[in-house]
């Protein structure tokens, strides 16, 4: 696989509320972070990703995840 040394990336981040914090997770790579607000969680995941890519080669292509919902019927 060919790796590039620098470029702009647009990555998918999912933010979930967990108790009193917001957890931000990257779906294409295994990186997560958190903050007290959504904006803080985004800032923290951005910093974590920048640090992660300092140590990891940037692939030429990062596949987009498929995000969907599933319907369940749960018996009580």
Q: Where in the sequence is the domain holding 18, given as residue range(s)?
A: 3-59
SS3 59: strand
Residue 6's pLDDT is 62
Instruction: Kindly report the pTM of this predicted structure.
Output: 0.74
In a domain, 70, yes or no: no
Per the structure, the count of domains in the chain is 1
In a domain, 23, yes or no: yes
pLDDT in tens, 31-61: 999 999 999 999 999 999 989 888 887 777 7
In a domain, 30, yes or no: yes
Residue 2's pLDDT is 43
Q: Average model confidence (pLDDT) for the chain?
A: 86
Report, in angstroms and rounded to the nearest whole number, the Rg of the chain calculated over CA atoms. Answer: 15
Quote the percentage of the chain above a pLDDT of 70. 91
Of the candidates 41, 60, 37, the one whose C-alpha atom is nearest the C-alpha of residue 49 is: 41
In a domain, 25, yes or no: yes
**What gap in Å lies between CA 51 and CA 1, rounded to an integer?**
22
In a domain, 69, yes or no: no
Cα 15 to Cα 44, 46, 70: the distances in Å are 12, 13, 18
In a domain, 67, yes or no: no
């Amino acid at each position: 696989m060919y790796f590039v040394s620098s470029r702009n990336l647009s990555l998918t981040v999912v933010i979930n509320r967990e108790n009193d914090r917001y957890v931000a997770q990257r779906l294409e790579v295994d990186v997560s972070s958190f903050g007290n607000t959504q904006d803080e969680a985004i800032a923290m995941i951005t910093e974590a990703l920048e640090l992660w890519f300092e140590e990891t080669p940037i692939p030429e292509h990062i596949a987009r995840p498929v995000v969907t919902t599933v319907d369940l019927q749960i018996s009580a």
